[in-house]
Structure 1
Amino acid sequence: MENRSPYVVNAPSISIIMLKVLLALIPGIALYVYVFGLGVIINILLASVTVILTESAILAIRKLPIKPFILDGSGLVTAWLLALSIPSIAPWWIIILGTILCIIFGKHLYGGLGYNLFNPAMVGYAILLISFPSIMTHWQIPSNLMIGHTDWLDQIKVIFNSNLLSKETLDAMSSATPLDYIKTQLTLNQPLATIQQDKIFGFVGGRGLELINLGYLAGGLYMLKEKIISWHLPVAFLSTLFVSALLFNIISPDTFASPLFHIMSGGSILCAFFIITDPVSAPTTPKGKIYFGMGIALLVLIIRLFGGYPEGIAFAVLFLNICVPLIDSLTQPRIFGHK
């Protein structure tokens, strides 16, 4: 009799999966360029070249074949996520250094793809944030809000040599993020309603960030449709972030921003669909994914509201990465026939 066991067939290759992830990022990137200019494209290009050169060097040192590992696309996904996580007008060497840190300490130190304990992009981001807090928390304001509508050429000058521009031009191009601005102004006893009247705020979140997050949401829905990711992680993360932020907002609306603000301001949507869904450093069980997403959301909100950094995604993700083996062990489904 012919064996017709229900084996999985025609499973997509790693390179196809990673290609679809990169495609899913394009709507958000396109809107990022529309709102903030070409800086993010320069970051992506620098990160992409750096990741290819770095991985090639490490694979050569490890005496492993270079071509299949470079073509699997995992390094490019890490590079793009880091490029989208750092300020788009950061000095050129920041993205190069961060990408090298991602690949060495986030990926190959543990053996390469499939063995990394931590999300590689968040490893690089966290090291950069701790080492260069001033650079990593000084973001570009939307192009249409810049004094004199600073052009893209000025952005390129800032990235490669900020000395070419005057201090007035630099000040006109950059500011704190909405999350950071709220935290700073609250320490000066300013009411939240007054704080959110600043020009960097939009309808429910940061001006321009709302549009970019909608782009990331479109890409995330595409990945759900293609079955690249499951619903457990993004739904658990976003719903927990929404509910917990809502509770704080109800308790003290003059101090704590609305839940929609927390979802549409920072990197919440990018985190929900592209960062915590890393298949290697996230749990494998359905229940584990839900607990993982919930835990990250709670830590993100706690750091945003009470921590020393305006954004807590990287630290929350890395902390929960440590807990993944325990989460998986506690959420394994019961084996059929066993009590």
Structure 2
Amino acid sequence: MPVNIAITFLVGSALGWLACKILKPPQHFRGLIMAFCSAGNLGNLLLIVVPAVCDEDGNPFGNDRSQCRSRGLSYSSLSMALGGLFIWTYTYSLMQKSGKLYHKMQSKSVQCPADSDEEHLQGFKAGDEEAALPPSASPEEHDEGSRIEAPLLSCESDVANNKGFWTNLKEAVHQLVEELMAPPTISAIIGFVVGLVPWLKSLIIGDGAPLRVIQDSLELMGNGTIPCITLILGGNLTQGLRKSVLKRSVIVAIVCIRYVAMPVIGIAVVRAAHGVGFLPHDPLYRYVLMLQFALPPAMNIGTMAQLFDVGQEECSVIFLWTYLVAAVALTTWSTVFMSILS
């Protein structure tokens, strides 16, 4: 499963990068687009969908619903933990870079005419001229002063950092440590340690465990996490419907990548891995692996957009359309996956 999730991020990032090269969105939106194309909702939706499929009559995963549900919850929980590691390291890095680029462009008035939407550029230039022009200055005086005091800077020369190898390596290591210290990442690591060490597991997990209260408390909080995150997503969708500067073609590209290209690639990857003997014969496990390629974007992307103050309105619009399409696409692909595995 870790390799499968890594493939989803790798393929999604490659397709997102290709979409950025073709559609040429603003520079600071490229990391956002790659994040939406690569990071799927690997936890919450699987915890809802997989047990529900096990409860259906005639499912291809066996007649014992309780056993199917137990295994499905185990696979979904593992997917959520591993997905959290990838999202809060790789996706976090993409969003952080986009935020830094956006704020640097704002603070230094850096413009990228070749890679920006026309509407975004017009609004950006108009806002700069109004903010920089004092009330007593005429346009001619403003033009002359700007030529002397504020020479134009290109994106490549201003945003790019020409640092040495060791400086870049030190910053990369520091950033990796910072990402690994994120609370979701630490929680996932602690969960893996407790699950893999027998004596720790016997202390916390089980009816006769002396510290069973920890498991009960975490389970109680976990049961409320899914509806809370869903409510937060609904609140985020109210923003940006009239403020987004992304082209419609970018949104269509993200939807096509997530619900057309990725599921097809997922079927090929899982069937190839099963054909060479890398996967067990459990059809439920292969179903979860295929489903990881057809999920809508991770909700944590919206949290990161708010954290770094970049693309919040655009996130709302993308979330709106991707989750609307997911109602049909996820059902369709789930049916296709079960027909393949039956």
TM-score range, shorter chain: under 0.3
| Higher helix proportion | 2
Q: TM-score, normalised by structure 1?
A: 0.26
Q: TM-score, normalised by structure 2?
A: 0.26
Computing the radius of gyration from Cα coordinates, the structure with the larger value is 2
